[in-house]
A and B are shown apart, each in its own frame.
Chain A
Amino acid sequence: MTAWIVLVLATFLASTVEAVEALTIVLALGVTRGWPSVRLGTGAALGALAVLVAVLGPGLRMIPIDTLRLVVGAFLLVFGLQWLRKAILRASGFKALHDEDEAYRRQVHEALAAGEAPRAGVDWYSFTVSFKGVFLEGVEVVFIVLTFGSARGALPVAIGGAAAAVALVSGAAFLVNKPLSRVPENAMKFAVGLMLTTFGIFWAGEGIGVDWPGSDAAILAILAFLTLYSLTQVRWLSRHRARRPAAAGGSS
Chain B
Amino acid sequence: MKYLASFLAFWKDLLIGDDWTVAAGVVAALLIDAFLVHAPIMAWLWLPVAVTIVLTASLWRV
Contacts and interface: CB of A to CB of B under 8 A. Distances in A.
Contacts of B60: 237
B33 to A, nearest CB: 5
B51 A210 contact: no
Contacts of A53: none
B40 to A, nearest CB: 12
A225 to B, nearest CB: 6
Contact of B18 (A82, A226, A237): A82
B47 A201 contact: yes
A197 B52 CA distance: 11
B26 A74 contact: yes
Nearest to B31: A208
Contact of A208 (B19, B34, B56): B34
B30 interface: yes
Interface string B10-42: 100011111100110011001001100100000
B38 to A, nearest CB: 8
A84 B58 CA distance: 11
B8 interface: no
- Interface SS, A side: helix
Contacts of B30: 70, 74, 204, 208
A70 B37 CA distance: 14
Nearest to B19: A85
A205 interface: yes
| Interface size classification for chain B | 20 to 34
A170 to B, nearest CB: 24
Contacts of A6: none
A82 B47 contact: no
Contacts of A35: none
Interface stretch (A56-64, A148-156, A211-219): A211-219
Nearest to B33: A208
A237 B34 CA distance: 32
Nearest to A213: B44
Interface string A195-208: 00100010011001
Given A78-B26, A229-B55, 15 more contacts: A81-B22, A85-B19, A85-B22, A88-B59, A197-B51, A205-B33, A208-B34, A210-B37, A210-B44, A222-B48, A225-B48, A233-B55, A233-B59, A237-B60, A247-B62
18 contacts: A70-B30, A82-B22, A84-B55, A88-B59, A89-B62, A201-B48, A201-B51, A205-B44, A208-B30, A208-B33, A208-B37, A209-B34, A209-B43, A210-B37, A226-B48, A229-B55, A233-B55, A237-B60
Interface of B: 10, 14-19, 22-23, 26-27, 30, 33-34, 37, 43-44, 47-48, 51-52, 54-56, 58-60, 62
Interface of A: 70, 74-75, 77-79, 81-82, 84-86, 88-89, 94, 136, 139-140, 143, 197, 201, 204-205, 208-213, 218, 222, 225-226, 229, 233, 237, 247, 249
8 nearest CB pairs, A to B: A82-B17, A209-B37, A78-B23, A210-B44, A201-B47, A77-B26, A81-B22, A205-B47
